[in-house]
Amino acid sequence: MRTTHHSEYLKIESIFIKPVEHAFVSERQLREQWLGLNYLSQPDFDISLAEYAVFEESISNKGVRKHHFPFDEKLTLDAIYCRDASIATDFGMIICNMGKSGRINEPESHKQAFMELDIPILGEIKAPGTVEGGDVAWLDEKSLAIGHSYRTNPEGIAQIKELLEPHGVEIIVAELPHYKGQQDVFHLMSIFSPVAEDLAVVYSPLMPIKFRNELIQRGYKFVEVPEEEFESMGCNVLAIAPKKCILVDGNPKTKNALIKAGCEVTAYKGTEISVKGGGGPTCLTRPMLRSY
């Protein structure tokens, strides 16, 4: 079996997640933090636990090794969206530096978890550079796309290049639009989710033209998310294996388009754990090794 960290769609062999009880912690913590973190409304703790149990079951491929990021009192509710604090590479983990000030302690928490499991660290993004994992997506084993956004700045992108270009990885920068501004959560993977070698779920109205054309030149076909399903995170789709997808419930047109494209689709009810905090299934996971 050949494995790599450099994929968004191959079969997941190992993965990190941050369960509700380690991130949301309690009804009290939700009440104290949700507004300051720009959630749509306060999640319900008990319903969140139930939703997360269903979500965790949906990512449990046969034989997948699941690791739980532990509780850390220095972190906020946003730690549940654990993709953002680190990047997995075949050369070691890259520890991010968050663009959202309320999440500044998450990368160090990831670093400690990786070190305890003897997972190597390739490097760390240092201020003034910022990078969040939601802005980073592998196109293939030698090509990494990075969104220049309000969460990922040019200094951070330059540091990613310094870490990966010596290993033969091409960095492709996607210049993301202003959209709703600095306070909104808008990452590259808000508009782009690869689900197979040549298939991606996209929201074209907000895609940079140069980046979209690059994908077309690479042979990608698109599952286009309709306007009415963009805000409900129809474009945030996690592939746990080629064309085996997970998305938030409430996006029937996107789900049907994926099925028409030959995908197997599981939808989970994510009102509390996804919709209110703006983090879909890709955000809720830090995939590690995937296999061909």
Q: What are phi and psi of 265, to 5 degrees?
A: -125, 130
Burial of 88 (0-12, 13-18, 19+ CB in 10 A): buried
Do the bridges between strand 121-124 and strand 170-175 make them parallel or antiparallel, or are there none, so unpaired?
unpaired
pLDDT for position 282: 97
CA 48/CA 8 separation, integer angstroms: 26
Q: Which regions of the chain are under pLDDT 50?
A: none
CA 209/CA 215 separation, integer angstroms: 10
pLDDT for position 184: 81
Q: What percent of the chain has pLDDT over 70?
A: 99
pLDDT for position 98: 97
pLDDT for position 63: 80
Specify the 3-state DSSP secondary structure of 30: helix
* CATH at 7: 3.75.10.10
pLDDT for position 1: 86
Q: Please name the helix (run of DSSP H) or strand (run of DSSP E) that holds residue 50, with its range, or none.
A: helix 45-58
Instruction: Specify the number of domains making up the chain.
Output: 1
CA 143/CA 177 separation, integer angstroms: 22
CA 186/CA 116 separation, integer angstroms: 32
Range of the domain at 122: 3-291
pTM, 2 dp: 0.96
